[in-house]
Amino acid sequence: MALSLYNTLTAQKEEVVPLETGRVRMYSCGPTVYRPVHVGNLRSFLLADFVRRALAYHGLDVTNVMNITDVGHMTDELSDEGRDRMLLAADDESLSATEIAAKYTEAFFTDIASVNIGRAVAYPRASDHIPQIIELVAKLLERGHAYEVEGTVYYDVTTFPGYGRLSHQALEDMRAGHRHTAVDERKRNHQDFTLWMAAGPRRELVYDSPWGRGYPGWHIECSAMSMHHLGERFDIHTAGIDLRFPHHEDEIAQSEGAVGHEVVRTWVHGEHVLMGRAKMAKSSGNVVTIADVAERGYDPLAFRYLCFTARYRRQVHFTDEALSAAATTLRRLREHVASLQGADGSAATDADLRSILTDPAAVTFHEQFVAAIDDDLDFPQALTVLHELARCDEVPPDVRRSVIASWDNVLGLDLVTPEELPPSLRALLEEREAARAAGDYGRSDALRNRLREQGVELLDSPSGTRWVRR
């Protein structure tokens, strides 16, 4: 089995076939750090975590990168007065723009940890990649895709024939002002977008460039950082559906315009979180943070569970009733799993678990769970299988617990509290690890067999050895 994802670019589900055997490279759009992220933002970050966990469960090495926007011309983040929201936040809190970015970057890390989003390999900050951004803008000018007017550099979309294919719209149908800002008369075409903006008098974070003092456009930052960290070709790009256009459309034009070939193979977009009938958004003021969820007395992972109740390409309705139901279901599920005998199992991947499962009914449940995950992350179906297995008396309790523990590597719901090995078995495990490290594989195999006789199966992987109860 292999994971299939809906590719926004081709409008169909496609199997993830890594460009590099055994390794998937993935880029995800991260936070703009001028305010706390809300649970609507968290859902898009969770999508990246879901994809990473599903791929890792199949034994793939995932190099995932998520950017942090801490500087730049944030086109869609301008206030009605035309001032960058980073500066507005700085004024509101009597902090510098740099201090605001640092404060809310740390808050972001706290928030994602609370919902079990695993840390990415790298979190590049836009402010640390100004040289790469300038180099990319210069390359686009050199290749005839951009033009400069009074220190501001624009991308000429008419030079890129594929513009509009991600959002499935024709260039000639795009209207002036579609970027939700006043029409800039300096542009050659109303669809053109900013690569580098000449700095006005109120800007704090400005940089020298061949075109004068200024700062980068929002879209160019992701092109520069993704290719710098993942190369000119990578497998997956994830984000919320609101970034499909213009942000990702512009990314494609910039990246492919600079290197002359496709950069991202699969584009994956998640839908919004709604409150009432409106999209949750800072601009609407209808936001709830994960800290708010905790203050109301709910486990933050109840929100993660709530996100599993709908496919990622469908909207989630956030209400107190829905959150309460998710929290209750999660609590009862944990209590039921705790009542089952058995052990850890939390390290087992799909391949690991298949190699040790002998109960036919458990094998069937496992195949159903993996099939649901592989079908474009069908978590609602995966939860159905989970609940059915948890209460299936045909499968021994210890097997149920071990299988569920393995599945929780994908779900991330903390369904199983890891069991500690007794001191005698822990000593055997440590002795076996020492034998492996010394290259004494005969002794290592003998110790593995002794542990197996005691009901402990060892799972070796490049990241180390873990164990499950048989």
Q: Which of 378, 360, 118, 162 is nearest to 261 (CA)?
A: 162
Sheet holding 61-66, edge to edge: 61-66, 23-28, 234-240, 264-270
DSSP E strand stretches across 199-277: 214-216, 234-240, 264-270, 273-275
Residues 6+ apart with CB under 8 A from 331: 299
Q: How many CB atoms are located within 10 Å of the residue 159 CB?
A: 17
Strand pairing category for 23-28 and 234-240: parallel
**pLDDT score of 439:** 85
Which residues on neighbouring strands pair with residue 196, listed in sequence order?
Answer: 153, 216
What are the CA-CA distances from residue 219 to residues 20, 67, 215, 252 (Å)? 27, 12, 12, 10
> Which tokens hold the place of 326?
């998710």
- H or E segment to which residue 338 belongs: helix 320-339
Q: What is the DSSP letter of 393?
A: T
Residues 6+ apart with CB under 8 A from 111: 36, 37, 42, 289, 290, 291
Q: What pTM value is reported for the model? A: 0.85
Domains of the chain are: 4-284 (3.40.50.620), 420-470 (no CATH)
Which residues on neighbouring strands pair with residue 237, listed in sequence order?
Answer: 27, 267
Q: How many CB atoms are located within 10 Å of the residue 288 CB?
A: 19
Q: What is the pLDDT along the chain (470 residues), one digit of tens a residue?
A: 799 999 999 999 999 999 999 999 999 999 999 889 999 999 999 999 999 999 999 999 999 999 999 986 554 434 334 556 666 777 778 788 888 889 999 999 999 999 999 999 999 999 999 999 999 999 999 999 999 999 999 999 999 999 999 999 988 777 655 544 557 788 999 899 999 999 877 667 889 999 999 999 989 999 999 999 999 999 999 999 999 999 999 999 999 999 999 999 999 999 999 987 788 877 667 789 999 998 888 989 999 999 999 999 999 999 999 999 999 999 999 989 988 865 455 556 788 787 778 889 999 999 999 999 999 999 999 999 999 999 999 999 989 999 999 999 999 999 986 666 777 888 888 899 898 888 888 898 899 888 888 877 776 655 567 676 55
